[in-house]
Amino acid sequence: MRAVTWQGKRKVSVDTVPDPVLQEPTDAIIKVTSTNICGSDLHLYEVLGPFMDPGDILGHEPMGIVEEVGSEVGDLKVGDRVVIPFQISCGHCWMCDRSLYTQCETTQVREQGSGAALFGYSKLYGQVPGGQAEYLRVPQAQFSHIKVPEGPPDDRFVYLSDVLPTAWQGVAYADVPAGGSLLVLGLGPIGDMATRIAQQKDIGQVIGVDLVPERIARARAHGVEVIDLNEHGDDLLAVVQEMTGGRGADAVLDAVGMEAHGSPAASLVQRMAGLLPDAVARSVFEKAGVDRLAALHTAIDLVRRGGTVSLSGVYGGMADPMPMMSLFDKQIQLRMGQANVKRWVPEILPLLTDADPLGVDSFATHRVPLSEAPHMYEIFQKKTDGAIKIILQP
């Protein structure tokens, strides 16, 4: 089969690799019909190379048709149309019983001290072959799938793999009081979708912050109040306070993460770590503060006293410096984590109708053959050609 493989920093290729086969009775094989490039894939493309090996298959946002099943996959059957969550979880362990699917005790990557295994996401999360491919082996398939109906195009459902539940959890964790204000830092796929979800809830004011013109225009077209950092980078706090009664936002959702603009020192550390031998670089990431924390520090500045900061953007450093005095003095609640996908699916599905209130049918900016993946990674990383969300079609 053909698959997108990691080959080095800022280098991916589409190669012929062996077809996946059933390995366990709880496995299934799906024929992938659509698979997305995620913003967190860019962390592998740019920053987390020390945890990758050449030839690793990328991708964790696939959907498709079941081609083959093991003997212990429950009611999953050949021909089912399914979306595959980015995390692999069993559905029956202590953590899964509490809907903490990203902490699944059956698939935890204990040798790395990590939570549930993820598709296509490095040694940190199990080095499981990913879904940017023609076929995908799905472990724990008795639970790690979401059945969806025939009929609507893939665009209607493919974001259940990651974007929708990640944005949904981010908004839920923000815990905005009825009629209150939510500020979203970063209007990439997760931030953009979070603003749309917030508009469907009892949130009185939804504010977005970004500096990419296409992202700003897209959010404004959906009725979001947007602050352009190109115009207000130096007076952002004053602008937000003016918009929120002088206090700051009730909650701030950081949808940026480790690769925020700014933080030149951390940017230098990331680049230097990427030049080290992999074993040494992995130690740096695991034991040092390597993230660009500009977005997180901004979130802490912009949230009101007694408010909540919700982190959806991915951070990777084990010893990143935190402004503990500000967090404590402002009495800020901080919530975060990988999305527990199937915890939120029942709440999301009623919005995936022909009325399309979240705009999923037109959410992708690019739909291209799998063969164009290398170019798509490049433009997504460089934020050119209006690339915000990319669907690859094997």
pLDDT 10s digits, 276-321: 445 444 444 454 444 457 778 899 999 999 999 999 877 655 556 7
Contact status, residue 218 vs residue 151, Cβ threshold 8 Å: no
Give residue limits of the domains in the chain.
Answer: 2-162+340-393, 167-336
Q: Looking at residues 362-366, what average pLDDT do you find?
A: 97
DSSP 93-107: SHHHHTT-GGG-TTT
| Residues β-bridged to residue 183 | 207, 252
CATH superfamily of 167-336: NAD(P)-binding Rossmann-like Domain (3.40.50.720)
DSSP 251-296: EEEE---TB-S--HHHHHHHHHHHHS-HHHHHHHHHHS--SB-HHH
pLDDT by residue (tens digit) across 93-141? 999 999 999 999 999 999 999 999 999 998 999 999 999 999 999 999 9
% of the chain at pLDDT higher than 90: 80
Q: β-pairing, 303-311 with 249-254?
A: parallel
| Residues β-bridged to residue 310 | 253, 335
Say if residue 191 is exposed, middle or buried (CB neighbours under 10 Å; 0-12, 13-18, 19+): buried
Higher pLDDT, 386 or 43: 386
The Cβ of residue 246 has, within 10 Å, a number of other Cβ atoms equal to: 8
Q: How confident is the model at residue 322, as a pLDDT?
A: 81
Looking at domain 2-162+340-393, does it have CATH number 3.90.180.10? yes
The pLDDT mean for the chain works out to: 90
Higher pLDDT, 239 or 292: 239
Q: How confident is the model at residue 156, as a pLDDT?
A: 97
Say if residue 338 is exposed, middle or buried (CB neighbours under 10 Å; 0-12, 13-18, 19+): buried
- Assigned token pair, 228: 């352009």
Q: How far apart are CA 130 and CA 121, in angstroms?
A: 7
pTM of the predicted structure, to 2 decimals: 0.91
Helix (H) or strand (E) holding 343: helix 341-348
Residue type at 118? L
Q: How far apart are CA 345 and CA 164, in angstroms?
A: 9
Q: How far apart are CA 260 and CA 258, in angstroms?
A: 6
pLDDT by residue (tens digit) across 27-73? 999 999 999 999 889 988 887 788 899 999 999 999 999 999 999 99
pLDDT by residue (tens digit) across 242-273? 999 999 999 999 998 655 444 444 443 444 44
Q: Looking at residues 218-230, what average pLDDT do you find?
A: 96
- Assigned token pair, 198: 């917030």
